[in-house]
Amino acid sequence: MKKLLIVDDEAHIRMLISQTLEDLEDEDVAFFTAENGADALQIIRDEQPNLVFLDVMMPKMNGMEVCRQVKQELGLHDVFIILLTAKGQELDRQKGQEVGANLYMTKPFDPDALLAKAREVLALD
Protein backbone atom coordinates (compact mmCIF):
# COMPACT_ATOMS: atom_id res chain seq x y z
CA MET A 1 0.00 0.00 0.00
CA LYS A 2 1.24 3.47 -0.92
CA LYS A 3 1.06 6.24 1.69
CA LEU A 4 0.44 9.94 1.15
CA LEU A 5 0.65 12.73 3.74
CA ILE A 6 -0.99 16.14 3.36
CA VAL A 7 0.34 18.84 5.69
CA ASP A 8 -1.15 22.32 5.94
CA ASP A 9 -2.22 24.46 8.88
CA GLU A 10 -5.34 25.57 7.00
CA ALA A 11 -8.14 22.98 7.12
CA HIS A 12 -9.68 24.11 3.83
CA ILE A 13 -6.36 23.60 2.00
CA ARG A 14 -5.99 20.08 3.47
CA MET A 15 -9.56 19.35 2.37
CA LEU A 16 -8.98 20.77 -1.12
CA ILE A 17 -5.86 18.64 -1.63
CA SER A 18 -7.63 15.56 -0.24
CA GLN A 19 -10.57 16.10 -2.59
CA THR A 20 -8.20 16.60 -5.52
CA LEU A 21 -6.49 13.30 -4.77
CA GLU A 22 -9.49 11.29 -3.50
CA ASP A 23 -9.56 9.01 -6.56
CA LEU A 24 -6.21 7.61 -5.42
CA GLU A 25 -7.94 5.95 -2.47
CA ASP A 26 -9.44 3.52 -4.99
CA GLU A 27 -5.90 2.61 -6.03
CA ASP A 28 -4.76 1.40 -2.61
CA VAL A 29 -3.32 4.69 -1.36
CA ALA A 30 -3.64 5.49 2.37
CA PHE A 31 -4.07 9.16 3.28
CA PHE A 32 -2.70 10.89 6.37
CA THR A 33 -3.04 14.56 7.31
CA ALA A 34 -1.34 16.91 9.74
CA GLU A 35 -1.99 20.53 10.63
CA ASN A 36 1.50 21.49 11.82
CA GLY A 37 5.11 20.59 11.26
CA ALA A 38 5.65 18.75 14.53
CA ASP A 39 2.73 16.38 13.87
CA ALA A 40 3.89 15.92 10.28
CA LEU A 41 7.37 14.92 11.40
CA GLN A 42 5.93 12.33 13.80
CA ILE A 43 3.70 10.84 11.08
CA ILE A 44 6.65 10.71 8.67
CA ARG A 45 8.74 8.91 11.31
CA ASP A 46 5.94 6.42 12.07
CA GLU A 47 4.47 5.82 8.62
CA GLN A 48 7.28 6.72 6.17
CA PRO A 49 4.88 7.90 3.47
CA ASN A 50 5.88 7.65 -0.18
CA LEU A 51 4.72 11.21 -0.89
CA VAL A 52 4.31 14.32 1.27
CA PHE A 53 2.58 17.55 0.23
CA LEU A 54 4.11 19.94 2.76
CA ASP A 55 3.08 23.54 3.43
CA VAL A 56 6.00 25.84 4.21
CA MET A 57 4.50 28.39 6.61
CA MET A 58 3.04 26.52 9.60
CA PRO A 59 3.02 26.66 13.40
CA LYS A 60 5.23 24.56 15.69
CA MET A 61 7.69 23.78 12.89
CA ASN A 62 7.76 25.16 9.36
CA GLY A 63 7.86 22.96 6.27
CA MET A 64 11.48 23.80 5.48
CA GLU A 65 12.56 22.52 8.90
CA VAL A 66 10.41 19.38 8.58
CA CYS A 67 11.95 18.68 5.18
CA ARG A 68 15.48 19.27 6.46
CA GLN A 69 14.99 16.89 9.38
CA VAL A 70 13.40 14.18 7.20
CA LYS A 71 16.10 14.29 4.53
CA GLN A 72 19.23 15.23 6.48
CA GLU A 73 18.72 13.96 10.04
CA LEU A 74 16.45 10.95 9.51
CA GLY A 75 17.97 10.15 6.11
CA LEU A 76 14.60 9.25 4.60
CA HIS A 77 15.61 10.04 1.02
CA ASP A 78 12.91 7.80 -0.47
CA VAL A 79 10.16 10.05 0.98
CA PHE A 80 9.22 12.36 -1.93
CA ILE A 81 8.52 15.83 -0.52
CA ILE A 82 6.66 18.51 -2.45
CA LEU A 83 6.76 21.89 -0.75
CA LEU A 84 3.56 23.90 -1.27
CA THR A 85 3.77 27.61 -0.60
CA ALA A 86 2.50 31.02 -1.57
CA LYS A 87 6.13 32.17 -1.64
CA GLY A 88 7.29 31.65 -5.21
CA GLN A 89 10.47 33.70 -5.28
CA GLU A 90 13.64 32.07 -6.58
CA LEU A 91 15.34 32.45 -3.18
CA ASP A 92 12.55 30.40 -1.59
CA ARG A 93 12.92 27.70 -4.25
CA GLN A 94 16.67 27.54 -3.61
CA LYS A 95 16.10 27.21 0.12
CA GLY A 96 13.66 24.36 -0.58
CA GLN A 97 16.28 22.57 -2.67
CA GLU A 98 18.91 23.10 0.02
CA VAL A 99 16.78 21.36 2.66
CA GLY A 100 16.15 18.44 0.31
CA ALA A 101 12.70 19.04 -1.20
CA ASN A 102 12.08 17.02 -4.33
CA LEU A 103 9.73 19.61 -5.82
CA TYR A 104 8.48 23.10 -5.06
CA MET A 105 4.93 24.10 -6.09
CA THR A 106 3.35 27.49 -5.53
CA LYS A 107 -0.17 28.21 -4.31
CA PRO A 108 -2.64 28.51 -5.78
CA PHE A 109 -1.83 25.18 -7.38
CA ASP A 110 -3.41 23.52 -10.39
CA PRO A 111 -5.42 20.51 -9.10
CA ASP A 112 -4.76 18.55 -12.29
CA ALA A 113 -1.01 19.12 -11.96
CA LEU A 114 -1.15 18.04 -8.31
CA LEU A 115 -2.98 14.82 -9.20
CA ALA A 116 -0.68 14.11 -12.14
CA LYS A 117 2.41 14.54 -9.96
CA ALA A 118 0.97 12.30 -7.24
CA ARG A 119 0.20 9.58 -9.82
CA GLU A 120 3.72 9.88 -11.21
CA VAL A 121 5.48 9.74 -7.83
CA LEU A 122 3.33 6.86 -6.60
CA ALA A 123 3.79 5.03 -9.94
CA LEU A 124 0.04 4.69 -10.48
CA ASP A 125 -0.05 5.31 -14.23
* CATH number, domain with residue 103: 3.40.50.2300
> Does 90 fall in a domain?
yes
Name, in order, each residue with C-beta under 8 angstroms of 112's C-beta and a sequence gap of 6 or more.
none
Provide the number of structural domains found in the chain.
1
Q: Which residues of 77-94 are buried (b: 16+ CB within 10 A; e: fewer)?
A: eebbbbbbbeeeeeebbe
- Judged against a pLDDT cut of 90, whether residue 34 lies above it is answered with yes
> Does 28 fall in a domain?
yes
Entry pTM = 0.95
- Judged against a pLDDT cut of 90, whether residue 125 lies above it is answered with no
pLDDT digits (tens, 9 = 90+) for 62-98: 999 999 999 999 999 999 999 998 877 788 889 999 9
CA distance 95 to 115: 25
Domain residue limits at 71: 2-118
